[in-house]
Structure 1
Amino acid sequence: MQFIFFGTIAIIAGLYLISKKLLFYGDGRVVPSRGSGSLLIVIGLLLIAASGIRIVEAGNVGVQKLFGKVNLNKPLNEGIHLINPLTVVVPMSIRTEAYTMSSMQDEGQIRGDDSIKVLTSDGLTVTLDVTVWFKVDPQKAPEIYQKLGEDYIGKIVRPTVRTALRDAGVKHTSSAIYSAEKREVFVADVEAEIKPSFENYGIIQEKTLLRNVTLPDMVATAIEKKLKADQEQQEMDYVLQK
């Protein structure tokens, strides 16, 4: 905006000098003002043109906004662009981002215990630590900015993931979620719950990581004993078959 202001002043001054035709100096010299006026006009035009240069950094797209109205057409890709000097460009990251909800202090985006408590199909409550990888669809960035602003993570990503975990949890037993072998099925159901909500807002889901599963102590002990017994039985069956 400063370039526009000074450029406009330079053009006005240049036009004024041209209209005066002559310049009078204190020592009595009289010289034509057309050259000085033309130079000021050129400088003014260059300043205004320079104010229209925008640089979009790597890993971002630029959402254009003119007088508060968002341009929903193709956003600016990374690099240098020459646009309307009055246009405001809002950078939005299109890199893969990770959002973590964890019981560990300072591990996730929110300080303190931010783990998710999920009710399972067998009526038990398990506590989950989760990380979700996602990114903004570059072509949908203007729409995301118009509908959600820059805090789309807090408005969409976080609540969608927490809801998906709880909705998927009621379809699985606590032992299935706890078991490393069966956990993938639960994660697949979670991702199936997340995908349509993300896509509706122009967010691309990449991967969901179930980082830790905490069961009530008594249940965890019982499951571990059962898993160990099953493993020992499989080993015994293998020995007998030989």
Structure 2
Amino acid sequence: MDKLPKIGLPIIFAVVFIIFLLFKTAVTIDAGKAGVMFKRFGGGVDTSTTYGEGFHIVAPWNDMIEYKIRQQSISDKMSVLSVNGLEVDVDGTVWFQPKADMLGKLHQEKGRDYISTILMPAISAAARSVVGRYTPEQLYSSKRDVIQNEILEEVRREVKDQYIQVNRVLVQDVTLPSKIKDAIERKLKEEQEFLEYEFKLQKARKEAERQRIDAEGKAAANKILSASLTDKILQEKGIEATLELSQSQNSKVVLIGSGKSGMPIILGNQ
């Protein structure tokens, strides 16, 4: 009876130790994540292997560091200067993800806080560089898509060798000081009204030109017709018409040679 507790105590310790080892060595990497192995007695970070989703056995003296590798986004509102020195607030979002096959290098050289130490400064520098090329009017109106693409290219250049993949940049809003915004809106309204006036004026000019050409065409046609109608032709046409009328069944009186031009005059009733 006295020996049983002495034998049972080591067994209990052994079971607890085995359970501890199981919890320590068994690692499950969740969906959308990947792992980097830190080998305490094997040279530090294993940069050659990225561990994917699922169950992994890790030696108790090693550590598995997990990273999100699915696409992520960060949003920020930055105050930057336009080409003429005016302060502009740019509200944007960037979609990114770490390069899974380079995760060991990312952990070794940049660390787990790479978003704040590498990516955010790159975005800020790119936004300042791109926005600084444009006037407030361009930023406010038609340059939004161009600015987005240029910021994307700038960020990609900034993080080219940083093991980060930048997928897209979205500029959601560009906020100007209220006085500048009102002045731009007034200018745009005046330009729109001017374009409408120019359109109406151009339309009126085209209509006047059309009427002039139409009138000139009619005048030219009348001139040609008048030139072709000689006295002889008129007499021949008159004779033809007289013959047709004389053959009708209606009562009439024909006076030969009574007209000023020698044309017959027909008198009669129905």
TM-score (norm 1): 0.69
Conserved 8 A contact 1:65-1:87: yes
Distance 1:46 1:220 in 2: 67
- Larger RCO, structure (CA 8 Å, separation 6 or more): 1
- Name 2:72's counterpart in structure 1: 97
- Deviation string 1:92-144 (CA, Å, 9 cap, x unpaired) is 00122221113xxxxxxxxxxxxx22121133221111221111111121111
Deviation at 1:164, TM superposition (A): 0.8
Q: Look up the SS of the partner of 2:112 in the other structure.
A: coil
Q: 2:62 aligns with which of 87, 104, 114?
A: 87
Do the aligned partners of residues 240 and 82 (structure 1) sit closer, same or farther apart at CA in structure 2, a change above 3 Å counting? farther
CA, structure 1 residues 120+84, in 2 after alignment: closer, same or farther (shift >3 Å)?
A: same
CA distance in 2, matches of 1:192, 1:182: 15
The residue number in structure 2 matching 1:188 is: 149
Q: Which amino acid aligns with 1:172?
A: Y
1:156 equivalenced with 2:118 (yes/no): yes
- Match status 1:197 vs 2:170: no
Report if aligned partners of 2:45, 2:108 keep a CA contact under 8 Å in 1: yes
For residue 160 of structure 2, give the secondary structure of its aligned residue in structure 1.
Answer: helix
1:28-50 per-residue CA deviation (whole Å, 9 max, x = no partner) reads: xxxxxxxxxxxxx9x99898677
Asked if the contact 2:50/2:103 (under 8 Å) is kept, the reply is yes
Distance 1:45 1:129 in 2: 54
1:58 aligns with 2:31: yes
Cα distance between partner residues in 2 of 1:45 and 1:213? 60
Q: Could you tell me how far apart the structure 1 residues matched to 2:175 and 2:121 are?
A: 21
Alignment check: 8 A CA contact 1:172 1:186 kept:
no
1:89-168 to 2 correspondence within 5 Å?
A: 89-102=64-77, 116-168=78-130
Percent identity, aligned pairs only, is 29
**Paired residue for 2:136?**
174
C-alpha distance in 2, partners of 1:226/1:44?
78
- 1:52·1:84 contact (CA, 8 Å) conserved in 2? yes
Residue type at the aligned position of 1:140: M
If you compute each CA radius of gyration, which structure gives the higher value, 1 or 2?
A: 2
How far apart are residue 216 of structure 1 and its match? 2.0
Separation (CA, whole Å) in 1 of partners of 2:126 and 2:17: 57
Segments of 5+ residues of structure 1 without an aligned counterpart are 1-24, 28-40, 103-115
Report the CA distance shift for 1:98/1:46 in structure 2 as closer, same or farther (over 3 A).
closer
Structure 2 gap ranges (5+): 4-13, 204-270
Coordinate RMSD, CA, aligned: 3.1
